[in-house]
Amino acid sequence: MVDPDLAEKVIRQALARGGDFAEIFFERHESASASIDDRKIASVADSSWMGVGIRVVSGESTGFAHTADTSEAGLLRAAETASRIARSSRRAPAMLDATPFAIDERSISGEHKRRGIGALQQIDEVARAGAAAIIQVSASLSATKREIIVANSLGRYVHDSQWRSRASALAVARGDTGLQTGYEVFAKSVDFDTFLSEFAPARLSGTAVKRAITKLQSRPAPSGVLPVVLAKGSGGILFHEACGHGLEADHIVKNSSVYAGKLGKTVASSLVTLVDDGSIDREWGTFAVDDEGNPAQRNTLIEDGVLVDYLMDYRSAKSFDHGPRGNGRRQDYRSLPMVRMTNTFLLPGDSDAEEIVAGTERGVYVAALSGGQVNTTTGDFVFGTQEAYLIENGRITAPIRDTQLIGNGPAVLGEIDAVSSDFGMNAGTCGKDGQSVPVGTGQPTLRIRSITLGGTSGG
């Protein structure tokens, strides 16, 4: 671990050639995972490592070096390397404000792993017993523990211990429509012991099986412009991609976002309030401090349809003359931090979920989305569905085959005409510039008045 005295010495070395800001990011990582496929345990893996990244900012230039050698000599060499890359007028670092903390000594034990493998076997057994049409089952279980220390020349010295545990199940069914798949994930930012105590393998497996079996009776998806009702939690990823990335301030600074220059302007329906909050207990994008040492906080981005703020890290916050928002994140110590989302979601409204469906004469009900992509410059996006149904005469009826939602972020935000009082969150992984970080997404049941479906039935 990097204690305060060593951190001050390394920061001074990092600024020896000049610079506006220097930072040390220490990370110790422990993980365990297992998977099952075709009734056999396919993998059991453990990993542990630690290292330090050192950043020096000088004007618009950044020097960065990382090392797995966490000795004093190793850190000073890395600081020297970073300082050579970024040079400027010398700025003296502040004394570190080092608050005492206790290291989380809990670990992933052999007993945890045995219980985890038992849970995987239960997922497989429940799935195969659930329906004769199920021909393949795979599942995975993982847990990670991440200890970080961040120290910088502004005087900050902070620590965080981050646990994340995750289980997934995939079921494949065979029928008259060919092979159909169902997938489900359960993930929480809790230690592995807590996770295993709360995790219900049969429920996870049952949801994956239901989705696969339901698709065997699915109809071709309609195509064209239709109303779409997104079930609670199911569409959070759409808003994460379609507008969340466009609200990251590094895109704004580069003028590569459709939301650049729109602070204070209406960008969505008045029913839309979009929030990013890294402090929500147990959610997948939750932490105490971000990877620049700033406390996680709640940031309202769009309020009643009006754009009120952007997501910021240290660099982009300086461009806006603001303080950081707790959104500086990095994949690991080998990576530079950048602006990233945490838990991003739409707040609930006043409508009733069942009434939203009943008030939709004809459309599509999406119970779960799959992956998608977005162009942050234009806001255009494409998303796939994993579980969806027709809405006919105000009722959810036949399942439909996987289809795509095609649209534009700002346009879709303006088409939201009903928002329910319920709410749900999901866990996912967000990729940006080659780095992946855990994020949460969520939303209440809502209706998009019109959106393009790339179906196959011609209307």
Alpha-carbon dihedral of residues 142, 162, 438, 127, nearest 10 degrees? 30
- For residue 346, give Cα distances in angstroms to 142, 197, 301, 376, 422: 28, 30, 10, 19, 11
pLDDT at position 457 over 70: no
Residue with tokens 């809990």: 106
Percent of the chain with pLDDT over 70: 98
* Model confidence, pTM: 0.94
Name the average pLDDT for the chain.
Answer: 94
Round to whole Å and give the CA distance between 400 and 446: 19
The pLDDT score that the predictor gives to residue 93 is: 81
- Residue 113 has a pLDDT of 92
Is 43 in contact with 301 (CB distance < 8 Å)? no
Output b/e per residue, 138-160; b: 16+ Cβ within 10 A.
bbbbbbbbbbbbbbbbeebbbbb
Residue 35 — φ and ψ, nearest 5°? -145, 155
Q: What is the DSSP annotation of 98-149?
A: E-----------HHHHHHHHHHHHHHHHHHHHH-TTEEEEEEEEEEEEEEEE
Which residue reads 């439909």 in tokens? Answer: 400
pLDDT at 130: 80
pLDDT tens-digit map of 89-135: 556 788 788 777 888 888 889 999 999 999 999 999 999 998 899 99
Q: Supply 1's token pair.
A: 């671990």
pLDDT of 215-232, one tens digit each?
999 999 999 999 999 999
411, 191 contact by CB (below 8 A)? no
Dig out the tokens for 148 from the structure.
Answer: 């970080």
Report d(CA 261, CA 320) in Å as an integer.
Answer: 12
CA end-to-end span of the chain: 62
pLDDT at 103: 83
Taking only the tens place, the pLDDT of each residue in 182-208 is 999 999 999 999 999 999 999 999 999
How much is the pLDDT for 96?
A: 86
Q: Report whether pLDDT(62) > 60.
A: yes
- Report pLDDT for 380: 92
Reported as a single tens digit per residue, the pLDDT across 10-55 is: 999 999 988 999 999 999 999 999 999 989 999 999 999 999 999 9
Q: Which residues of 413-442 are buried (b: 16+ CB within 10 A; e: fewer)?
A: bbbbbbbbebbbbbbbebebeebebbbbbb
**For position 88, what pLDDT does the model report?**
60
3-state helix, strand, coil in the chain (%, to 5): 20, 45, 35
pLDDT in tens, 141-166: 999 999 999 999 999 999 999 999 99
**Residue carrying the six token digits 């011609």:** 458
Confidence of residue 459 (pLDDT cuts 50, 70, 90): very low
**In terms of DSSP H, where are the helices of 131-255?**
192-198, 201-215, 236-239, 249-253
> What pLDDT, on a 0 to 100 scale, did the predictor assign at position 370?
87
Q: How far apart are CA 459 and CA 444, in angstroms?
A: 27
Residues whose CB falls within 8 Å of the CB of residue 83, separated by 6 or more in sequence, listed in order: 13, 14, 15, 16, 17, 18, 19, 56, 63
Cα(243)–Cα(248) distance, integer angstroms:
9
The residues, any chain, with a CB within 8 Å of residue 167's CB and separated by 6 or more, are 119, 123, 139, 140, 141, 142, 185, 186, 187, 195, 199, 201, 204
The pLDDT score that the predictor gives to residue 458 is: 47
State the average pLDDT over residues 349-357: 98
Domains of the chain: 4-215 (3.30.2290.10), 224-453 (no CATH)
- pLDDT value of position 323: 86
